[in-house]
Amino acid sequence: MIGNVLILLVVIGLLVLFGWLAYRAIRAQKLWVKIVGGLLAGLVTLVFAALTVTGGMGFAAAYFPGANPAPDLTVAKTPEQIARGEYLVNLSCIGCHSAVNAAGNPSEQHPLTGGWNIAAAEGFGFMGDMVTENLTPGGKLVAYSDGEMFRALRYSINKEGDLLPFMDLMPYKALSNEDTEAIIAYLRSVPAAESDIETGSSLKFLGLVMKGAGMLPAESGTASVSAPAEGVTAAYGEYVAIYGDCRGCHGPDVTGVAPSAADPAGTPNPRLLVNTITQAQFFEMMQTGVKPDGNAFPETMPWQNTAKMTDDDLAALYAYLIAAP
């Protein structure tokens, strides 16, 4: 935070400086100084003005998000909750928060000690730093109340009240209250495991500018969320796409994401393929990682997680993907 404050102050100082130079140029006696000096200094002033406004807005969003207080919540931690939470965590959270292997990548295995430098791995280190958290009681979450964990999942706000900037881009705010509590119950039940890797996430100044400019759009969380009726339906399949992490990569409507500054590679529209194959082919593809044409999914596609889905969840997801978005 201190570094971003200093950079913002420098940008404001440069804004004032070039604004003053533009003013001096316009009032100069020589015509060429008025035109050339005024134009150049004026353009630079506009650039620093834009950086000041967007950087300031991003700073406010990151450090003063105006989050609701953590709810007064004590999760029951029933066997049913823990079992449901285990299912959800093994479909989604484990993809980023599993213990890292020798190469520093997620192993897709327990314990959930995190440590993946996702910003470096995915090429967005210019926006900020993100090393995935240890989700076991051996990490920072041991100091969170159940309500604070709920707030982190629902609003992407940490214990200190700051934004979790990269978690904010994920779709888990749309999980039902019951499923959110189930995740908390399960994470409380796993054995504590420690890691020497320093974890955490924060935006650099460029990331604050992008946040303030609306280049890192995020859904808003609400206090109460209910899941649709469970069943092999497109409506429930849309919900499966949340905890199956489809929306996290393929966009809110699972229609793909165009390349952008925040995501240079983008992601394809999976509906185009799914609409050309049968449900049986879809099942085989999602459980083996091999498409009907014999080509394997790219490494970025976490099919190992979808392979853990129940048949009913996969069928519901198929129904959703072949329906109009």
pLDDT score at 290: 95
- As given in the structure block, the two tokens for residue 11 are 């940008």
Closest C-alpha to 254, from 156, 322, 177: 322
Q: Which amino acid is at 116?
A: W
* pLDDT above 90 (res 273): yes
* pLDDT above 70 (res 261): no
* Mean pLDDT in residue range 184-192: 97
* pLDDT above 90 (res 251): no
In angstroms, rounded to a whole number, what is the distance separating the alpha carbons of residues 226 and 248?
19
For residue 159, count other CB atoms closer than 10 A to its CB: 15
Longest dimension (CA), the chain: 82
* Mean pLDDT in residue range 77-93: 96
For residue 257, report the phi and psi dihedrals to the nearest 5 degrees. Answer: -130, 125
* Mean pLDDT in residue range 4-15: 96
The CATH number that domain 234-322 falls under is 1.10.760
> pLDDT exceeding 70 applies to what percent of the chain?
99
Tens-place pLDDT, residues 120-140: 988 889 999 999 999 999 999
pLDDT score at 108: 86
Q: Where are the domains of the chain?
A: 2-63, 79-212, 234-322
* pLDDT above 90 (res 266): no
In angstroms, rounded to a whole number, what is the distance separating the alpha carbons of residues 277 and 71?
45
**Please, are residues 269 and 324 in contact by the beta-carbon 8 Å criterion?**
no
Computed over every residue of the chain, the mean pLDDT equals 93
* Mean pLDDT in residue range 184-213: 95
pLDDT score at 110: 92
Q: Which amino acid is at 131?
A: V
Torsion of CA 76, 79, 83, 86, to 10 degrees: 60
Tens-place pLDDT, residues 25-42: 998 888 888 889 899 999
3-state helix vs strand vs coil in the chain, percent to 5: 50, 5, 45
Q: Which amino acid is at 83?
A: A
pLDDT score at 257: 85
In angstroms, rounded to a whole number, what is the distance separating the alpha carbons of residues 8 and 51?
8
* Mean pLDDT in residue range 72-77: 96
- As given in the structure block, the two tokens for residue 33 are 């100084």
* pLDDT above 70 (res 262): no
Phi-psi region of 143 (alpha: psi -120 to 50; beta: other; left: phi over 0): alpha
Cα–Cα distances in Å, from 32 out to 22, 36, 39?
13, 6, 10
200: CB partners within 8 A, 6+ apart? 129, 130, 131, 133
* DSSP E strands, 99-172: 128-131
